[in-house]
Structure 1
Amino acid sequence: MKPVRSLARIMLSGIFVVSGARNFQNPGRLVTAAKPVTDRITPLIEKNAPQVPTDTESLIRINAATQVAAGLMLATGKLARPAALVLAGTLVPTTLAGHPFWNNDDPAARNNNQIHFLKNLGLFGGLLLAAADTEGKPGLRWRAGHRIGHSRRSVQRSGRSVQRAVRTAKREARIAVRSAATARRLPG
């Protein structure tokens, strides 16, 4: 199953690497479409990350560089699950800025943007699947639950061992007391 996963990750990441590289080299062509989205997130960025540039062209380049880096990570399988989540995150503003079909009056443009919007929605779903894929290995949640259960059973076993040791020590103490009492009663 590993070759299928590897091929699927490469195929899924290809669009992000190629379009990210293009958008990084030439962000100017996207500024007009991206401006309404970047204007809305600029206050949030300025509040939480004041060192990040907030002009539209810089934000397009940051998004593009992120897509290239995360796309390559997904393709190579290095930190594939977090990379898929990052790509899903970059896809949201890209889709909202690039394909707002609800704003189009022209039926042909509306239809075209709606198709691209739905395509990106499908990519988003694929990225969520890639982010959830544990490659047949147990996920973090299962492993944590398993560890907790294992630890609980280990503590219970230790508790039972301690109880047995205490019972044995009490029994041996009673035997020792009886032996001492018997030894005192014997003449001699």
Structure 2
Amino acid sequence: MALIRLLARPLLASYFIANGVDSLRNANALAAQAAPVTEKLQPVAQRAVPNVTVPKDPTLWVRANGAVQIVAGAALATGHFPRLASGVLAASLVPSTATRYRFWEAQDKAVRSDQQTHFLKNAALAGGLAIAAGDTAGKPGLLWRARHTAKDVRREAAHAVKDAKLEAKAFKAAHT
């Protein structure tokens, strides 16, 4: 593993692990902030998985998001499924950012500035996670492998057609 990955992944993950722990510890306090967002997300989630009962309790949503951040953060930090972990962490940023940093609603200029700074920090983290999610560590990604496999299959099929024509021509010449 490259030294940069060895250092960067745990550094990036550290924020999410700490944020997840904070979410678990302070779930009740954060639930009040999360309620407007969870009220909108719950029906969408329920429609997405109609056979599963999606909870309405914002405290549970905060705890679930915190647990997801801890688990995915630990996976990223240790290099286990880093691309998947990065994607999951990026997805977990959306509700937590929408919950905690709605700067456009703040009336006080100092609060608005602070909220905007945190919002932009989360946007920057999302950018870092997007890079990490696309990092194949120098190995071909699934898309590259799929394209090259398709190219190889087309080439082999063309060779098989050419060989079949030659065989047919040889067969015809031998039997005429």
Aligned partner of 1:167 in structure 2 is 169
Aligned partner of 1:52 in structure 2 is 54
Question: Following the alignment from structure 2 to structure 1, what is the Cα–Cα distance between the partners of residues 85 and 56?
Answer: 23
Q: Secondary structure at the match of 1:78?
A: coil
Task: Report the Cα offset of residue 26 of structure 1.
Answer: 2.5
Q: Secondary structure at the match of 1:53?
A: coil
Matches within 5 A, 1:18-97: 18-49=18-49, 50-97=52-99
Any gaps of 5 or more consecutive residues in structure 2? none
Q: Is the 8 A contact 2:24 2:67 kept in 1?
A: yes
Q: Secondary structure at the match of 2:80?
A: coil
CA-atom RMSD in angstroms: 1.4
Matches within 5 A, 1:127-138: 127-138=129-140
Q: Does 1:152 align with 2:171?
A: no
Q: Is the 8 A contact 1:45 1:54 kept in 2?
A: no
TM-score, length-scaled by structure 2: 0.92
Which is higher, the Rg of structure 1 or of structure 2? 1
Question: Following the alignment from structure 2 to structure 1, what is the Cα–Cα distance between the partners of residues 11 and 84?
Answer: 17
Question: Following the alignment from structure 2 to structure 1, what is the Cα–Cα distance between the partners of residues 54 and 67?
Answer: 14
Q: Secondary structure at the match of 2:175?
A: helix
Q: Secondary structure at the match of 1:153?
A: helix
Any gaps of 5 or more consecutive residues in structure 1? 175-188
Q: How many residues align?
A: 174
Letter in 2 for 1:138: P
Question: Following the alignment from structure 1 to structure 2, what is the Cα–Cα distance between the partners of residues 93 and 57?
Answer: 13
Question: Following the alignment from structure 1 to structure 2, what is the Cα–Cα distance between the partners of residues 45 and 4?
Answer: 37
Q: 2:108 aligns with which of 106, 109, 128?
A: 106
Aligned partner of 1:2 in structure 2 is 2
TM-score, length-scaled by structure 1: 0.87
Question: Following the alignment from structure 1 to structure 2, what is the Cα–Cα distance between the partners of residues 61 and 54?
Answer: 13
